[in-house]
Amino acid sequence: MLGTFKSLTAAIKLRVGKVRIDTAVFRLHYRFTFIILVASCLLVTSRQYIGEHIQCIQDVNSNIPAQVINQYCFISATFSVPKFNNNTELSLIGLGPYTEESDEVIFHAYYQWVPFVLFAQAIMFYVPYTLWKAWEGNKVRSIIQGLNVMAVNDNSAGRHRSIDLLANYIYRTLHDHDGWALRLFFCELLNLVNVIGQIFLIDRFLGGEFMRYGINVVQFLELDPENRVDPMATVFPKVTKCNFHKFGPSGTVQRHDAMCILALNIMNEKIYTFLWFWLIILTIITAADALMRLVIVLVPAVRRLILRSRLSGDSKPLVRHIVDRCRIGDYTLIDLLSRNLDPITFGRLAHQLSRLLQSGSSVSSDKNGEDTPILT
């Protein structure tokens, strides 16, 4: 188990020289949230930390093997009686005498499906990145030519040549990147739709108890310890009831009442408490990022401001040349390049691109580092 978690932590380590084809908010979905859900799935399926998932207590005179009734109650689902949920005088919430014909009971079978649902959610958070990676087609990696790796000799002629080639590529393919950028915007929007859908999915899975789950937990912590009912015990009961039926010696059906301890729900309640807060935070961050993306698309002045923040010195004239001539697809490509290149390299790229846009000719550096125009 520890080895598995070590492999998960290795998956989120930053790799030097890795080309970034997305934003930090995008990575919160397919890396951080994906790892959280997979780790949660491993936790609820491991008996190393919580022991047996279910243990049932029965009458000693029933002569039913403990393993049989444990498996039966886990498979057939245990239940609780809602009328005892708010009775603070009882130490066992949801348990007490009831009448099958008149009293309402709630069956708790979802704990069997928690690992599968968590794993399915992890896959759903990874789908937008999979789509974008397929549509991106290693475009950024192909054109960046290793410039994202810091060089010992940053003024080498070979590095200047690579910067010139990259500037020439952007100039020659100007206005050809809109469709490519729209796919990125679609995947970012898909992230927002997915995280909101995940909240409603969990709420449906938990019988409508998830929407206010985190709020109820916070309110519970502020109440008097002697007169409060744990909302987590209602959604994820640790002690439940189970009825086992078998035939007696004369053929009469005998009902055996059992009280079951669900150690599995100790882990479930902690996982879903964390997920409630994290999904709310992630939704807010993703919605803000989507709004910012919309502003960037609609307002050129914002694009100029962002580009100037990534350049040093008096960059206002060259930023104006770049933003005024580039469409949103071109700007998106330049923005991704700025996330991969160090400030010095990106500054040289921006200057070369600005000169190309003003002169209308490609520029390269000769082996002495001097600029030589190449008519296009």
pLDDT at 125: 95
- C-alpha atoms less than 13 angstroms from C-alpha of 151 in its C-beta half-sphere: 18
pLDDT at 191: 96
Among 337, 344, 335, 339, CA closest to 311: 344
Q: How confident is the model at residue 366 (pLDDT cuts 50, 70, 90)?
A: very low
Q: Please tell me which residue, 106 or 374, carries the higher pLDDT value.
A: 106
Interior/surface letters 24-46, b for 16+ CB within 10 angstroms, e for the rest = ebbebbbbebbbbbbbbbbbbbe
Q: Residue 365's beta-bridge partner residues? A: 371
Q: Please tell me which residue, 42 or 156, carries the higher pLDDT value.
A: 42
Per residue in 3-58, pLDDT tens? 555 555 555 555 555 888 899 999 999 999 999 999 988 888 776 555 667 777 77
pLDDT at 226: 55
Q: How confident is the model at residue 112 (pLDDT cuts 50, 70, 90)?
A: confident
Rounded-to-integer distance, Cα 373 and Cα 376, Å: 9
In this structure, the dihedral spanned by the alpha carbons of residues 211, 212, 213 and 218, taken in order and rounded to 10 degrees, is: 150
Cα dihedral sign for 293, 294, 296, 297?
positive
Which pair of tokens denotes residue 324? 């005024």
Rounded-to-integer distance, Cα 166 and Cα 159, Å: 11
Of 22-31, 79-88, 301-310, give the lowest mean pLDDT range.
79-88
Per residue in 239-277, pLDDT tens? 777 777 777 776 667 777 787 788 788 888 889 989 999
- Residues making up the chain, counted from first to last: 376
Of 120-134, 287-301, 303-317, give the lowest mean pLDDT range.
303-317
Which pair of tokens denotes residue 234? 């209602």
- 322: enclosing H helix or E strand: helix 316-325
DSSP secondary structure string, 181-218?
HHHHHHHHHHHHHHHHHHHHHHHHHTTS-STTHHHHHH
Percent of the chain with pLDDT over 90: 28
Rounded-to-integer distance, Cα 273 and Cα 74, Å: 23
Q: Which amino acid is at 351?
A: H
Per residue in 202-243, pLDDT tens? 988 888 888 888 887 777 766 655 555 566 667 778 777 777
80, 95 Cβ separation under 8 angstroms: yes
pLDDT at 80: 73
pLDDT at 223: 62
pLDDT at 243: 78
In the chain the beta strands, taken as DSSP E runs, fall at 55-57, 78-80, 106-108, 239-247, 253-261, 362-365, 371-374
Which pair of tokens denotes residue 34? 């994906």
Rounded-to-integer distance, Cα 125 and Cα 179, Å: 23
pLDDT at 122: 94
